[in-house]
């Protein structure tokens, strides 16, 4: 049975996973077309900085459920053979989840994770920035209410699908472990994603050129790399 992705995001009282708490958690399962979105009472005050970013106030969470209950429902939502995908997952969202489950003495589920920020940095080093909202703009994805968790999740799904193209989720996991690429040595997208540039079929390069893929601003470095290898010519 193939793995299915679940896109998720958290909002928190601050940036310190050891001392701050989750105030909102949201997720989307594209296979079942179901979403999960709940505010969480953190049992502490939300920092002014966090309120300014996520627009969640202390008043909004004072009657919300505590993480012990929300977390159990989140585990149920993420049941089965899943891979949880979040932007900056490894340095933020996953750390907060681990600490929250530790506090309520529940063993952290054996989920697999993909950090879409790490993927973007690894396979799109040609882009000057890799923040979710910057990638949204690059891929011309419609803007929504950024920084509320479920809104960010919907944007993340669309951005991630652009980043990995039609690669199966198992291949994405494999490539994330692969040696880090430098100077666009590897194909950053498409059915040959992960291949060294000099191993990409010339017919595919010609098709990309004919389809004007190389004319997109975000693919400028890729075009230059193929030209340096003598694999991209006019005509």
Catalytic annotation, residues = 147
- Closest by alpha carbon to 174, among 161, 193, 191? 193
Long-range contact list for 101-110, CB < 8 A, 24+ apart?
A: 101/71, 103/67, 104/67, 104/68, 104/71, 106/68, 106/71, 106/72, 106/75, 109/75, 109/78
Rounded CA gap, 37 and 57, in Å?
A: 16
DSSP element (H, E) containing 60: helix 58-61
Cβ proximity of 139 and 165 under 8 Å: no
- Closest by alpha carbon to 29, among 101, 85, 111, 98? 85
Rounded CA gap, 2 and 82, in Å?
A: 9
- Closest by alpha carbon to 50, among 82, 7, 11? 11
Residue 54: count of CB within 10 angstroms of its CB? 20
Distances (CA, A) of 199 to 105, 140, 219, 226: 50, 30, 18, 11
* Cα-Cα end-to-end distance for the chain: 44
């Amino acid at each position: 049975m193939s793995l299915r992705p679940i896109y998720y995001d958290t909002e928190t009282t601050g940036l310190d996973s050891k001392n701050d708490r989750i105030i909102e958690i949201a997720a989307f399962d594209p296979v079942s077309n179901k979403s999960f979105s709940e505010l969480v009472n953190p049992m502490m005050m939300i920092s002014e900085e966090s309120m300014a970013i996520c627009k969640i106030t202390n008043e909004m969470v004072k009657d919300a459920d505590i993480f012990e209950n929300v977390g159990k429902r989140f585990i149920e939502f993420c049941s089965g053979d899943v891979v949880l995908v979040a932007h900056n997952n490894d340095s933020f969202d996953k750390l907060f989840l681990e600490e929250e489950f530790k506090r309520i003495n529940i063993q952290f589920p054996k989920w697999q994770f993909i950090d879409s920020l790490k993927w973007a940095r690894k396979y799109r080093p040609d882009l000057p920035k890799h923040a979710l909202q910057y990638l949204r703009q690059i891929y011309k994805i419609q803007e929504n209410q950024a920084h509320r968790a479920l809104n960010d999740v919907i944007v993340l799904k669309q951005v991630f699908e652009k980043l990995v193209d039609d690669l199966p989720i198992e291949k994405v996991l494999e490539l994330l472990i692969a040696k880090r690429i430098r100077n666009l040595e590897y194909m950053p997208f498409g059915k040959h994603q992960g291949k060294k540039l000099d191993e990409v079929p010339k017919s595919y390069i010609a098709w990309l050129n004919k389809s004007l893929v190389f004319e997109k601003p975000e693919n400028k470095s890729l075009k230059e790399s193929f030209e340096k290898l003598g694999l991209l010519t006019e005509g």
